[in-house]
Structure 1
Amino acid sequence: MFFELIATFAVGIAAAGLALVAGHLSRGRLPRYSAPILAGIAMLCYAIWSEYTWADRTLSTLPESVEVVSAVEESRFWKPWTYVVPQVTRMMVLDRAGVQTNPTVPEILLADIYLFGRWAVPVKRPQLVDCAKAARADVSEAALADPSQAEWLVVGVEDPVITALCQS
């Protein structure tokens, strides 16, 4: 967050500098207030670009084996442009390369789910998934040893994790 603030100020200073150079090259024909106006517009445009592209930029740093299973798009009243095009503020990502099975219970999958949120620390949530029952459970020591000890939550076949793991 701090680095984005610094980058926003840098964009504003650069835009103001360009306006000052353009004013000098035009021999004073540009009004003096063009530099702060251009700096403000550039800073606002950079902030909007940064908000709308954070999900793609975050995903570009992850390995090829990850897949977005759910993305939450939101609109905020203090960002009126989000009512036109909502922005992704949270996403749930599945690591396909890390999906494992237990030979004693092959119908139950163990998958790593990562939760990403704008301005939030990413969270890794290992999940047990039972495709036959369309259920998920958080991983615990007892559940890893015996999946029947897990606290299963029947989520249905429309759950994004069940759809991603069991329908493919």
Structure 2
Amino acid sequence: MYVFIFTTVVIGFAAAGVIMLLFRLLGRKVPKYVIPFTAAIAMFCYMIWDEYSWFDRYASRLPDTVIITQTFADENVFAPWTLITAPINRFTAVDREKVVINPQAPDEKRVTTLLLKKGSTTLALTHLVNCTTGKRGYITDQTSLDQSGFPTAIDEWFDLKPDDPLRAAVCG
């Protein structure tokens, strides 16, 4: 967040500096309103560029083993351009290399889902996915585990649709 603010301010100063240099090279005096207007427009353009390119830049840095299962785009009334086409500002991902198969029940797989959001810390959730029944359950700190690290019982199971992206990434 601080890097974004710092970069935005630097972009504003750089744009203002370029305009001052151009006017000086032309031998003209800069009108008072041009410098702040140029800085504001440059910062505004940078903020929009950063908002719309964040997902592509972040996803390109992920290893090949990481599969992005879902993306989410939020509209914001205070940013009216998002009402036309909303930028992707959060997504979920699964690292296929870190999927662990239960030795006692090969149709059960333990997987960690990463929830990433622009400007927030990454959240990791561990699931147990049963590929045969199409159900998943959360593994929390309170879940009792056996010797191989799989839960002995899960309190609540959730149904996964056949086309669920998590099910496709883990079981496919």
Query: TM-score normalised to the size of structure 2?
Result: 0.88
| 1:75-118, Cα deviation, whole Å (9 max, x unpaired) | 10111111122111211001111011012100011111100112
Report what 2:39 is aligned to.
39
Aligned residue among 129, 153, 162 for 2:167: 162
Please report the RMSD computed on the Cα atoms of aligned residues, expressed in angstroms: 1.8
Call closer, same or farther: CA 1:41–1:121 in 2, change over 3 Å: same
Contact kept, 8 Å, 2:139 with 2:151, in 1: the verdict is: no
* Local SS of the residue matching 2:99: strand
Report what 1:54 is aligned to.
54
| 1:27-82, Cα deviation, whole Å (9 max, x unpaired) | 11753422221111110011111111222232233322111100011110111111
Mapped pair 1:149 → 2:153: yes
Gap regions ≥5 residues in structure 1: none
Taking the aligned partners of 2:112 and 2:99, their CA distance within structure 1 comes to 7
Taking the aligned partners of 1:54 and 1:118, their CA distance within structure 2 comes to 7
Taking the aligned partners of 2:150 and 2:51, their CA distance within structure 1 comes to 43
Taking the aligned partners of 1:128 and 1:72, their CA distance within structure 2 comes to 23
Report what 2:89 is aligned to.
89
Gap regions ≥5 residues in structure 2: none
Report what 1:116 is aligned to.
116
Deviation at residue 155 of structure 1 after TM alignment: 2.6
Report what 1:135 is aligned to.
135
Query: TM-score normalised to the size of structure 1?
Result: 0.90
Corresponding pairs, count: 167
Taking the aligned partners of 1:146 and 1:37, their CA distance within structure 2 comes to 59
Call closer, same or farther: CA 1:17–1:121 in 2, change over 3 Å: same
Report what 1:76 is aligned to.
76
* Local SS of the residue matching 2:97: strand
Call closer, same or farther: CA 1:69–1:146 in 2, change over 3 Å: closer
Mapped pair 1:10 → 2:10: yes
Call closer, same or farther: CA 1:146–1:121 in 2, change over 3 Å: closer
Deviation at residue 126 of structure 1 after TM alignment: 1.3
Report what 2:104 is aligned to.
104
Per residue, is there more strand in 1 or in 2? Answer: 1
Amino acid at match of 2:125: R
